[in-house]
Structure 1
């Protein structure tokens, strides 16, 4: 049994989510190969070869793979699929974009948001926004899966010699999809899904100006990433890429501070695996208190500035 992990990268560095996915692949019990598909991404292939648990790295270099266009990467994965029993992607925007295409082209069912490996064909995943866990068994010859990265530790650097790197020829693509450009939001703060500390604000903040005035000083003191509930994002208080929850980003930091967030199940689904959860809300009945390790029943406009001053 051989497992293929699709590395997520920017042609320069391996994204942390790939390390969690490699850990999940290692729990399946077979040899783990990593596919690095990109352009001039030799440094990524070298980094992947140095990860514990990786037996081989497949490196594909082509202009059509430079920007991770889903259709092009999917074609490359499908060309290699015959040699593998499992194909794993991180459950990120990129992984969720490519994996369904691979599953459709292979005519198999996709297993989404893997959180636990029970055996080579039996897995656990959340359903109903994490209110229940489903145990599923797949009889597909090739199992295409996305991995909820917060459920697995990141793979460490290998103490052994680096894995072999095999150069693989690229495949022809249909050319019906082309990369036109990107608008990348610049952020000096830690990446939300990789941050160890996250402070999140909700609709109770009332406006973008108040959101920034209250949350940014706290984030600065803690060196934290900033998150937001969907209600805050929909109201325009925070940008889309700050959204935490079922329809946003799934996070599991060491410390998660939720200010003015009531705790709708859609938000809890995205952060309840955090190691320590601190909730600040003046409503004693707020659902967020049911998952919080520490709860402060107080007006956030008073409590948060006091916390910043104390820090």
Structure 2
């Protein structure tokens, strides 16, 4: 089994139940766009360990470089990334029986630092999740999230509570509710975030090659709304993703698998209102 096959198998085997965050699936259709040039080279040191170097030269001649190490064990996954600004990002995932443990930390001088711990475990026929987020700011207390998802026939029902506290203030509790109905060819999800915003997401698979999605967001406070349309065309070697936003922006990415080790990509970002077009290209080499 190849390294990336192990990576995919690890994550899919860890999905004991649908968790609360998986209600919104349009991220699977979101284009992976970049402006300028991007290269990514991965070297397999052992079947379970690899290192990846990524280099990006944006259309504004801004350079970005990162170095990533990835290790996959029988029941755990470790990944560390450092960039040219010495920002360090760490990810850890482990499975102990049915318990899924995920940890994520970011140490950055410019973007802010934080650490996050997430636990997911089957409970009463559903999935119980707990998450704690600790920003590296003395005045900000950790944010705690508890959610629960249960499937009733072909409908998923989810409930989430977010606890926040600030110095010299009373603790606050935000409640979110989610519903998702599935069929063999479609998904319809409705989420009410902390009783202030509404999200409706619809996905439809027309055949194994074509999938389409619609995402609608509405603020119950400001009465503002936003909507996106997604399109995915996927064959054995080619994948095309497109996103059309309400404000007239269109994002498209094309990825072509040249062989088992080389992938080429082309992306286009266009603004129909301003009449601007940005083009990016890149490659990913597995060695």
Alignment TM-score, normalising by the size of structure 1? 0.25
Quick check: which one's strand share is greater? 2
Alignment TM-score, normalising by the size of structure 2? 0.27
